[in-house]
Amino acid sequence: MIALRIGLPQPNFNQLEKHLYEVSDPDHERYGQHLSKAEVEHLVAPHQESIDSVNEWLFSFGLAEDDLVKSPARDWVTVKVPVSLAEKMLDTQYHVWKHSESGDYLVRTTSYSLPSDLHDHVDLIQPTTMFGRFKKHKSTIFKVTAEKDALSKASNSEPIVDSVSGVTVDASCNKVITITCLQQLYNAVGFVPSANVGNSIGITGYLGQFANKQDLQSFFADQRPDALNSTFKFISVNGGLNNQTLDEAGDEADLDVQFAFGLSHPIAPTFYSTEGEPPFIPDVVTPTNTNEQVPMTSNLVVPYTEWLDFILSHKNPPLAISTSYGDDEQTVPESFANRACAGFAQLGARGVSLMFSSGDGGVGDGDPDPATQQCFTNDGRNATKFIPGFPASCPFVTAVGGTSHVPEVAVSRFFSGGGFSNYFSRPAYQEKVVQAYLDSLPKGTYAGLFNPNGRAFPDVSAQSDFFKVFIGGQAFLIGGTSASSPAFTGFVALLNDIRLKAKRPPMGFLNPFLYSKGFAGLNDITSGNNAGCGTPGFNVGKIPWFYCVYRLQGLLHSQPKVGIQVRAIKGLPKAETDTFPEVTGLGTPNFGKLKDLVLAI
């Protein structure tokens, strides 16, 4: 059996997009007037002609209305059929494919076709030609064996005054990041949110990552004792599990729930576990699945749409949601990327803030060595090119990069992901800051390696290294942008608390606010870079910026030759070019400033 998911066109999506930007723009009269579930579904519904045409086609193969599972807006149809019938429907032949390195099995075909009269009524069908996998963003773990020594040395040091934000931070925070460190660094000490104003926060989990409740209690005892004996609501999506055996605890899941829910307590928390994996075209960077073995019987390929179908069917989804999973953008078929991104837009229009970690590969693979870099296109040319990440590259989500240390710099050990999308054009909300940056670059900088007209990411950043997390009953330090996204989301939940207590709507889609007014409540990051693809990547710099310009001579992936020049860029207006979006975005949160800004709109 195979579950075919058929995507029908959304002819009025441009109208939804218009509504999304109006209700998310703090300068628009409709700001905060989010759409209802029914209104969003009406705007993304396919034409009746498309529904009828697809139904007629399915019925011609003996299927009945009861065999069709449709999404709330009827823009997705799922049918579970024998592979032999799928072959007839799609005029193709499926095979069982085994991955030579990992041993994973998939049921796929190399081509398929539809009757010509259906071409205008179907966007995509999966699983068909999409081979490959899905990955959690890197969570590098270090066992906390020397924590006492580190903290003992730090206790003898003077507190650190951050030169950018002016806040005072314990010296220990340069060794171990805790809830207290984040509250100090991001100016939220003493703020207590409400539990009864309708606020909520969510974490998504995939790939069999289990969030352990006993670990959460250990974390609360260590860092948030007032939250002891509280827990999160668990929701299974498509059969997702949350095994509570201690030795099955997931590093990613534990990290996400402990810091997101620890920062936002007592705001109502939910953890979603979704079974399945998305469509994917293998490339050199992520050719295998190191996170789980996919059984031969598993034909689910789209966890984002599985989760989106589920969450969009609910009237009241969490108001701030973090995801620390993604793919190289080029490994996601563009048709799927567009449909998933459109689903994120639906949530934004309904008042949900979506955060995604920007990844840990810098501008591609995280490798600054030209001799060993793996940033090759997977279109048959094997050309060297920066590799953006998805869903961080979707313009309807807030991508979160990583910083480390106090004062903060772009995280150096994991190379905060960032760059320019090859699928999505640059949205209007970031036109001014990104175009000003591009105009300031010396002519020819990284020419041909990135799309200067694409959506730039990340949008913001937060600490992403040395997070103290409890996993399987033990304390560990974790690093990666998989830490920064749930941390930033915790502060978004606090901002929603401010808004809701003032009888105002939640923040919703954040980016128009961040790029127009919110940047005034963010801390500039003035140092660091995001190496990858045989280059140091993009650099962060305080105005004037100093950075290396790399001119690739040839683009032979075996030994690209790199010449280095150091240039200075004259200062430009602060509101236009204050930070470098492709490393740390507009900056890290200063909650003390942001809470005043969100009450002023």
Catalytic residue among 139, 322, 482, 485: 482
Catalytic residue among 75, 123, 256, 283: 256
| HEC-encoded secondary structure of 552-564 | EECCCCCCCEEEE
The beta strand positions in 442-559, using DSSP E, are: 454-457, 460-463, 467-471, 474-479, 522-523, 545-553
Cβ proximity of 160 and 406 under 8 Å: yes
Task: State the DSSP string of 55-82.
Answer: HHHHHTTT--GGG-EE-TTS-EEEEEE-
* CA dihedral of 307, 423, 427, 34, whole degrees rounded to 10: -20
- For the question of residue 200 being annotated catalytic, the response is no
Eight-class DSSP state of 315: S
* Cα angle: 409, vertex 427, 548; to 5 degrees: 35
Residue 266, preceding peptide bond in cis (omega within 30° of 0): yes
Catalytic residue among 252, 254, 277, 329: 252
Q: Which residue has the tokens 């668990």?
A: 234
Q: What is the CA radius of gyration of the chain?
A: 23
Nearest to 321 by CA among 357, 278, 276: 357
* Cα angle: 503, vertex 504, 506; to 5 degrees: 125
Eight-class DSSP state of 97: E
Please list the residues that pair with 588 across neighbouring strands.
523
Q: Provide the residue type at 35 as one letter.
A: L
Q: Which residue has the tokens 């009237």?
A: 315
- For the question of residue 461 being annotated catalytic, the response is no
End-to-end CA distance of the chain: 52
Q: Which residue has the tokens 């823009």?
A: 75
Give the whole-angstrom CA distance, residue 294 versus residue 284.
20
Cβ proximity of 31 and 24 under 8 Å: yes
- For the question of residue 482 being annotated catalytic, the response is yes
Tell me phi and psi for residue 108, to 5 degrees.
-145, 170
Neighbours of 513 (CB within 10 A): 26
Catalytic center residues: 252, 256, 482
